[in-house]
Structure 1
Amino acid sequence: MNDDHSKRRLGRGLAALIGEMDQPVAETVASRVTADRTVPIEFVSRNPRNPRRYFDEDDLQDLASSIRQHGIVQPVVVRSVGTDRYEIIAGERRWRAAQLAGLADIPVILREVDDRTALELAIVENVQRADLNPLEEALGYEQLIAEHGYTQNDLGEIIGKSRSHVANSLRLLKLPEPVRDMLSSGELSAGHARALIPTSDPVSLARSIVAKGMSVRDAERIAQNDIKAQSDPSGAAAGPRPAKDADTLALERTLSDSLGLEVTVNHKASGGHLRIAYRTLEQLEEICRLLERR
């Protein structure tokens, strides 16, 4: 219980720190965020655990041009990792652009934090700035869960998102590598990717979606057809089944996004059934808690 309370307090503290770091430029210039010191750029290294992996080269070049003209307006947040050596917590993009701009020194804010807090800060900063692609975000959550024992509820409090948002992000890690690559590059959105998770051949379907420029609704429709084909490969027992109407598909999507779990609705004139698929006891317990509140 005390550990849960500590995590909640830590989450609020992280959010406050990042909120201070993420003020508009005008406030930053007015020393809302000021550098602790200036250090040689070669003394600063990237954090290998930073969830952000992709940096657009054109964007970096544009930022480098701005830095050549105006300098670094917002300091890079770092921690000590040795004598006169620093590791980036937040601001790797600015550090990379500063290198391209040929800066010898950069302004930094020094924070003495452990590995866990450094990773949390990096995730919070990137999520609040919308700098992570959906896969990077999911990998960051997975790392905190695996290495530091956080639950989905803990993460939701730290990053200021719902538990269902965290659960939906983590579901993306079930996809095969080629689909995850398309998600990282932006060829697929998170909505497209989530629709493919329960299908028999996500890679082929993903390539078809990208090639045809399908919407998320189109992706959900072909994914649903694939799932039906899995449940009745012959299609002969009951003849061709009518496709679900748009309202039913929208209801499934809404419920799935709300719970962070796969929800299937089968409705007929005489009634129907709703199926919620879970994979862990934690997910089952969360469903039970939600039902008990009703």
Structure 2
Amino acid sequence: MALAAVDINCDMGEGFGQWRLAEADDTALMELISSANIATGFHAGDPSLMDATVRLAAQHGVGIGAHPGYRDLQGFGRRRIEGAAEEIVNDIVYQTGALREFARRHGASLQHVKPHGALYMELAANEDLSRSFVHAMQATAPNAFIYCMDVSLTHRVAVEAGQPVIREFYADRDYGRSGSIVFTRHTGRLDPAAIADKVVRACREQRVRTVEGDDIDIAFDSICFHSDTPGSLAIARAMRAALVAEGIKIMPASELANPSKAITRG
């Protein structure tokens, strides 16, 4: 069944001091998305950038999410780091709490938590770590959505525990037969029109073509793309225009869960 409404989420605030990774300005991207995953200082981000990005999201009515990663500025959080589950989860709690306070400062609330990069992929495949993460969320942010893939262990554990979840579809990443994305540290420049077609098909049919050439089912509530993908602004514009043309409403996760209170971002 075709989706009537969908969230668009993007990783934001990914810089440090004077350094910025994304070629697109966060302000331009913020006008096109409905939820922002805001870097929390370990893989990217710093207090002043977190504050500015949260303020920008609040001004645009964009759902605010913490985007905690491994403590890996040099590798941008895309390198797996070994550690005890308790240590890794404590890092997530620390980062999430910092972002939540910036949200409170600007009269907003924490909509979601989405782990970043290699940490996201490790949680997806590591049941013990996912359980520790979900238990920490239930103690510290029980109403916040966890963003994850439908096929991930994170999703299964969160559903079993009663933690709200949002399932993601990756616009700018390839899929394998398992239904998971093919992890990469570097993405070349993609064709915005092809990405828009991929997204519209997924919304219409809940299907996606894999790198092996198969079509597989995909279940999702939110479409993700990355601000550091080359040409991200053109991708965002093409996706949004295609979704609007199809009559698919765009709204933050909090409004997807409460459609009677939704304000469509046309």
Please indicate, yes or no, whether the TM-score normalized by the shorter chain is above 0.5. no
TM-score range, shorter chain: under 0.3
TM-score (norm 2): 0.27
Higher-Rg structure is 1
Greater length-normalized contact order (CA 8 Å, ≥ 6 residues apart)? 2
Which one has the bigger strand percentage? 2
More helix by share: 1
TM-score, L = length of structure 1: 0.25
